[in-house]
């Protein structure tokens, strides 16, 4: 069902991350800072900036107890988030290429007020 999580640090394509978060196999967690989140984030994603995750902030309730897919702008911070989450015992992977790749793939992005957003 969620086989890529069992192979170690494999990254998901934007399409795989969208599909797996959309069908409930995992929660998509955007780890960018608030201004970037407000500019545009994956539809249906939860938000927890990497800076807060590093300080020990708990995952949003909806992300607890199941697999998590992290995403940022390009993939660097989301990869760091995977390491932090794995150290906490969370089953996690990230979306390769981040929001940049997601936008190029034509996947839905929502802005601050529910409108179609960008990828700042």
Sequential DSSP letters for 37-62: HHH-EETT-EE--HHHHHTTPPPPGG
Q: What is the value of pTM for the model shown?
A: 0.87
Say whether 3 sits in a helix, a strand or coil: helix
Which pLDDT score is estimated for 5?
45
Q: What is the CATH number of domain 3-107?
A: 3.40.250.10
Residue segments in the chain with a per-residue pLDDT below the cut of 70? 1-9, 113-120
Q: Which residues are catalytic?
A: 72
Which pLDDT score is estimated for 26?
97
pLDDT tens-digit readout, 45-77:
999 999 999 999 999 999 999 999 999 999 999
Q: Going by C-beta distance under 8 Å and a sequence separation of 6 or more, which residues neighbour residue 83?
A: none
The C-alpha angle with vertex 104 and arms to 103 and 107, in degrees rounded to 5, equals 45
Which pLDDT score is estimated for 113?
61
Which pLDDT score is estimated for 10?
81
Which pLDDT score is estimated for 4?
47
Which pLDDT score is estimated for 118?
53
Which pLDDT score is estimated for 114?
56
């Amino acid at each position: 069902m969620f086989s890529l999580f069992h192979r170690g640090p494999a990254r998901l394509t934007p399409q795989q991350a969208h599909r797996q978060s959309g069908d409930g196999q995992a929660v998509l967690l955007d780890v960018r800072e608030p201004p970037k989140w407000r500019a545009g984030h994956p539809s249906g994603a939860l938000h927890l900036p990497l800076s807060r995750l590093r300080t020990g902030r708990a995952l949003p309730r909806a992300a607890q107890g199941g697999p998590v897919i992290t995403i940022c702008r390009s993939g660097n911070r989301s990869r760091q988030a995977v390491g932090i989450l794995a150290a906490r015992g969370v089953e996690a992977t990230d979306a390769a290429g981040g929001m940049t790749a997601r936008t190029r793939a034509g996947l839905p992005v929502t802005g601050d007020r529910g409108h179609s957003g960008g990828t700042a």
